[in-house]
Amino acid sequence: MANDANPQLAHEKQRVVRREDGVRTSSWRAFTGTLKRDLLLVFRRRSDIVNPLLFFTIAVTLFPLGISPESDFLAQIAAGVLWVAALLATLLSLDSLFQQDMADGSLEQLVISPHPLAVMVLSKVLVHWLVTGLPLTLLAPLLGVMMFLPDDGFGILFLSLLLGTPTLSLVGAIGAALTVGLRRTGVLMTLLILPLYIPVLIFGTGSVIAAVNGMAVAGHLAIMGAMFMTALVLAPLAAGAALRISLNG
């Protein structure tokens, strides 16, 4: 009896393993398929890419015009100005994260699909970062030259934005999911998300200031990395739950 049971048990284990492998493969295909679809749609609506970059550039450019063009003064405020402008540009672009899918009905299909909703949300957040956060990160050093940012700050500015902008997109997805069913989402989403952005802003700006002043920056970057990993794990789950609440409500 034992000899008959062992092959049967081994066969059942193999079936379970194959089923789990099939689920993972299916979820990965759904993730990449959603990623490709959203990237194609975004590049058809090029204003979704251009508008945050234009806002970022204009916001940074207005500071020398409105406050003072003196290089010493601009060098002192450069880190804060660049980070605040990047944060606001990201916040400006969050409104389109789920709205287009809500309008054409594909968001409901996404929610009721057999694939984990958190995986689908993560795919959409990745698209948002690729078309918003990454271009802002690449553009920031160029605007840092205009703001007379000291040479020691450029590398840390790039690294801090590379860690911070994905966190902004992940956390912002929660607010976008909570307000997706509302007609006017701008002010409400700002009130919901902006307080959660403050720690990222503090440590992002602090890392650049510390680098300019010759101080250690490892602690700032480590905390930003921890915030990014926490958001990467929790934000897709929270955004998925918020989407279900918004659609069912």
Per-residue pLDDT band for 8 (boundaries 50, 70, 90) equals low
Arithmetic mean of pLDDT over the chain: 86
Predicted pLDDT of residue 18 = 46
pLDDT (tens digit per residue) in 42-100: 888 877 789 999 999 999 999 998 888 899 999 999 999 999 999 999 998 888 788 88
User: What is the model's pTM?
Assistant: 0.86
d(CA 228, CA 133): 13
User: Is pLDDT at 2 greater than 80 in this prediction?
Assistant: no
pLDDT (tens digit per residue) in 210-226: 999 999 999 999 999 99
User: What would the DSSP string read from start to end of 132-183?
Assistant: IIHHHHHHHHHHHHHTT--THHHHHHHHHHHHHHHHHHHHHHHHHHHTTT-S
User: Is pLDDT at 231 greater than 50 in this prediction?
Assistant: yes
Per-residue pLDDT band for 7 (boundaries 50, 70, 90) equals low
d(CA 227, CA 190): 20
Predicted pLDDT of residue 24 = 56
Predicted pLDDT of residue 233 = 95
User: Is pLDDT at 103 greater than 80 in this prediction?
Assistant: no
Angle at 215 between CA 61 and CA 220, to 5 degrees: 75
**How far, CA to CA in Å, does 43 sit from each of 9, 152, 186, 228, 231?**
51, 35, 23, 27, 27
DSSP state of 96: G
